[in-house]
Amino acid sequence: MVKISINYFLILLVTVLASCSKSEDNGSPIDNGGGPSSNTYWPLAVGNIWNMVNTDDPGDKSEYYLHKTLIHEGKTYYQFKPEGTDLDVHLNIGIREDNGVFYEYHGASSQMGVNTSAGVITSLNTKLAVGEVWTDQVTLNISGAASGTLKHTNEGKILAKTTSVAVNGKTYKDVIKTETKKTVRNSITGYSLTIIYEAWLAKGVGLIYEKNTYDNEVVEQYQLTSYSLN
């Protein structure tokens, strides 16, 4: 399945839910020995994978799989493979980290005569103290068969920083809990979509829990079951 939640989480850390036929699973939550193996809260490398399960529906499973990279203005962005396909999918979106700050890249696109410009926006800032907030926005211009804008606004804050957290029966150390509110407004239709993402990230491991709320109505929660890092 492809969910808006991940479309915007990585496109919030959040771009596309990953899919992968990878059989090797050389890492699991217990393998980090309860402590971090690197200084990042989300290790980005091609081949890394995080397997998640819906806390309310064990049959609803999803994967984040970093399957390729792209270059924008000399910087490398990592792409998550859309779930449900084994094809070498071409995407124009990705994420990167710069000293604890994560950015989402929306590449230029052209479909059915409608052209959308490129842009970069902050998706997550792990450098702030608990309670601190940040805001960023980017406007993508639409031209061609239609004319208007897509305005992305991200508002984030640090909810907590804890020494250890138990998720799905496993204990992780050095965990940061964040919340990001993303609003996307289409000037052509006048429609706005708001999604609130709560993400728990363990240093050296990555995402261990996420809660996504759509327009204050639909709520989804996923937790980590296993992961593999290159």
The model's pLDDT over 43-65, given as tens digits with 9 standing for 90+, comes to: 999 999 999 999 999 999 989 99
Phi, psi of 207 (to 5 degrees): -70, 125
- Residue 34, pLDDT above cutoff 80: no
Residue 117 has pLDDT above 90, yes or no: yes
pLDDT at residue 23 tops 90: no
Q: How far apart are CA 102 and CA 75, in angstroms?
A: 12
Overall average pLDDT of the 202-209 stretch: 96
Burial classification of residue 202, based on how many CB atoms lie within 10 Å of its CB (0-12 exposed, 13-18 middle, 19 or more buried):
buried
pLDDT confidence of residue 162: 96
Q: Give the 3-state secondary structure of residue 26.
A: coil
d(CA 49, CA 65): 4
Residues 6+ apart with CB under 8 A from 177: 158, 159, 160, 161, 162, 198, 199, 200
Domains of the chain: 4-228 (2.40.360)
Per-residue model confidence (pLDDT) at position 216: 81
Q: Give me the pLDDT at residue 37, please.
A: 47
